[in-house]
Structure 1
Amino acid sequence: MKNEGDRNMDLSPQERLDYMPGKKRNIFQRKDIFSFSMDAVLLAKFAYIPKNKGKIIDLCAGNGAIPLMLSIRTDFKIDAVEIQEALCDLMKKSIIYNGLENQINVIHKNILELTDEVSWGTYDLVTCNPPYFPMAASDRHNKNEKLLFARHEYACTLEDVIRISSKLLNFSGRFAMVHRPERIVDIMTLMQKYKLEPKKIQFVYPKKGREANMVLVEGIRGGKPGIKTLYPFFVYGEGQDYTEEFKTHYENW
């Protein structure tokens, strides 16, 4: 049973409490730290969840947007791994506020240093909204380390994410990730290298006539070849309003 949650938690001067799409979950965020984005919400809906049983782990969890949204879809246990202590603290506050202490477990660690905090080879689903951009020499001079962790492959690379996800999954377990379309060749190549056969892909466009700026990919560990390309989403219409199709998908939880 989920708890009622603590609705009387204090906010620090930097913090705010926001609704997530569908208004079934609240999330604590900080003004000086990268907030959750549309990418995380779309991934939480894109990922396939087993019907009868399941163990889930979210890598590069940030302030917990994906685990929080996944908890609307399932009662399965969810591990959430995040390297930044400040984001772990926010995630823990959101978990308590939403009464999810018995479902979501926060692991404060670099995914490269995971040991017995996780159950290797047993998860049915691994999700990840990783840093999108490879590190350049100039990026290392960025004084905002929090943004480096969020945007750049500073603490782990795309290959690290895919390799570790494969080790976490059981045979026929699923890996679901959101990333940038320009990395799709790298993603597919690395997934096959680590025995995660790509099975489903969906592109997201800011609006018609523009290039895609997001791609959702799912693979199965040990799966047979063959991939489905789902119908794309167009986020905005002529103005700054969501298209009806996207609004229904994004906000219907």
Structure 2
Amino acid sequence: MIKINDYERVDDIQREGYKLIQNPKAFCFGIDAVLLAHFVSGIKIDSKILDIGTGTGIIPLILYAIHKKGKFVGIDIQEAMVEMASRTMMLNQVSNEIEIKCLDIKNFGQDFKRGSFDIIVSNPPYMKAATGLKNSSATKTIARHEVACDLEDIIKASNFILKERGQLFLIHRANRLVDILNLLRQNKIEPKQLRMIYPKITKPPTMVLIHAVKGGGLDLRIEKPLIVYNEDNTYTQEIYDIYEKKML
């Protein structure tokens, strides 16, 4: 029997019967996690996939539900989130396929072997530590602000952890695009695919999906925009299709 605390809820992710334990007062996953999972490609039977800042463990859980292959490791610096995500994997009987660890990505040199993973995914904190309103919840602050790690920490670590030609998949704020591309190239991880996410077709982009390859060639493909909402605030057909393909 997996323990579920009174302050937690169990959500059905509508895929393979898998369920996710979440604490509504701490941090719950959003559409960005689903969009990132949809964006990830290239998972093979023997792929090793690392999720940096896994939180509830939603991204590896969706990816395993979709692909049913690969070995996943999700890491997070917050012990409470790691404990909860670990119970989620036990609840779904996928602990052998998805391992959750409490690690600080800044210590990548001591916690990982060089070139040990095929794919890294990350939905990192979007906001710089000195900007924006901090939340009264420490968990939410760490998830949203670069207080425990920043973009450079994640990209430096990815260069070390990824195999040559290994893949990195990120979702981030569109206004950080220059920082992202600059750091990727500095760390010899070449951007290969970019897709801007627009809340509506009449609004500027707010997020960006990036696929990069360690040691990849100089060739960036710009995908068509991803529009989330119609003008009447309903989801666009593509968003419905993503949820049906990845979550249902």
TM-score higher than 0.5 here? yes
Aligned to 1:252, the other structure's residue is in SS state: helix
Q: Note the alpha carbon deviations across 1:186-209, whole angstroms, 9 max, x for none.
A: 000000000000000111111110
1:115-126 equivalences under 5 Å are 115=109, 117-126=111-120
Distance 2:172 2:29 in 1: 14
The percent identity for this pair of structures is 33
**Paired residue total:** 245
| Alignment-derived partner of residue 61 in structure 2 | 68
Distance 1:164 1:201 in 2: 21
Could you tell me which of 125, 143, 148 is aligned with 2:141? 148
Distance 2:46 2:8 in 1: 36
Distance 2:211 2:186 in 1: 15
Kindly report the root-mean-square deviation, in angstroms, between the aligned alpha carbons of the 2 structures. Answer: 1.9
Q: Tell me if the contact between 2:167 and 2:211 (Cα under 8 Å) persists in the aligned partners.
A: yes
| Alignment-derived partner of residue 192 in structure 1 | 185
- 2:121 aligned with 1:130: no
Could you tell me which of 186, 211, 215 is aligned with 1:218? 211
- Please state how far the C-alpha of 1:212 moved relative to its aligned partner: 1.2
Could you tell me which of 182, 189, 196 is aligned with 1:203? 196
Distance 1:219 1:74 in 2: 23
Aligned to 1:176, the other structure's residue is in SS state: strand
Q: What amino acid is the match of 2:114?
A: W
1:55-94 equivalences under 5 Å are 55-72=48-65, 73-94=67-88
Could you tell me which of 176, 201, 217 is aligned with 2:169? 176
Aligned to 1:155, the other structure's residue is in SS state: coil
Aligned to 2:179, the other structure's residue is in SS state: helix
- Please state how far the C-alpha of 1:23 moved relative to its aligned partner: 6.4
Q: Tell me if the contact between 2:170 and 2:209 (Cα under 8 Å) persists in the aligned partners.
A: yes
Q: What amino acid is the match of 2:55?
A: G
Distance 1:24 1:228 in 2: 36
Distance 2:49 2:68 in 1: 10
Q: Tell me if the contact between 2:229 and 2:235 (Cα under 8 Å) persists in the aligned partners.
A: yes
* Structure 1 pair 205–21 and aligned structure 2 pair: CA distance change class (3 A): farther
Q: Tell me if the contact between 2:43 and 2:70 (Cα under 8 Å) persists in the aligned partners.
A: no
* Structure 1 pair 138–180 and aligned structure 2 pair: CA distance change class (3 A): closer
- What's the TM-score once normalised by structure 1's chain length? 0.90
Q: Tell me if the contact between 1:22 and 1:251 (Cα under 8 Å) persists in the aligned partners.
A: no
| Alignment-derived partner of residue 113 in structure 1 | 107
Q: What amino acid is the match of 1:232?
A: P
Q: Tell me if the contact between 1:21 and 1:250 (Cα under 8 Å) persists in the aligned partners.
A: no
- Please state how far the C-alpha of 1:139 moved relative to its aligned partner: 6.2
| Structure 1 unpaired stretches of 5+ | 1-7
- Please state how far the C-alpha of 1:117 moved relative to its aligned partner: 4.1
Q: Tell me if the contact between 2:73 and 2:98 (Cα under 8 Å) persists in the aligned partners.
A: yes
- Please state how far the C-alpha of 1:37 moved relative to its aligned partner: 1.1
| Alignment-derived partner of residue 245 in structure 2 | 252
Identify the range of structure 1 (13-22 vs 76-85) with the bigger mean alpha-carbon deviation: 13-22
* Structure 1 pair 250–79 and aligned structure 2 pair: CA distance change class (3 A): same
- Please state how far the C-alpha of 1:53 moved relative to its aligned partner: 3.0
Aligned to 2:224, the other structure's residue is in SS state: coil
Identify the range of structure 1 (107-116 vs 61-70) with the bigger mean alpha-carbon deviation: 107-116
Distance 1:19 1:245 in 2: 22
- What's the TM-score once normalised by structure 2's chain length? 0.92
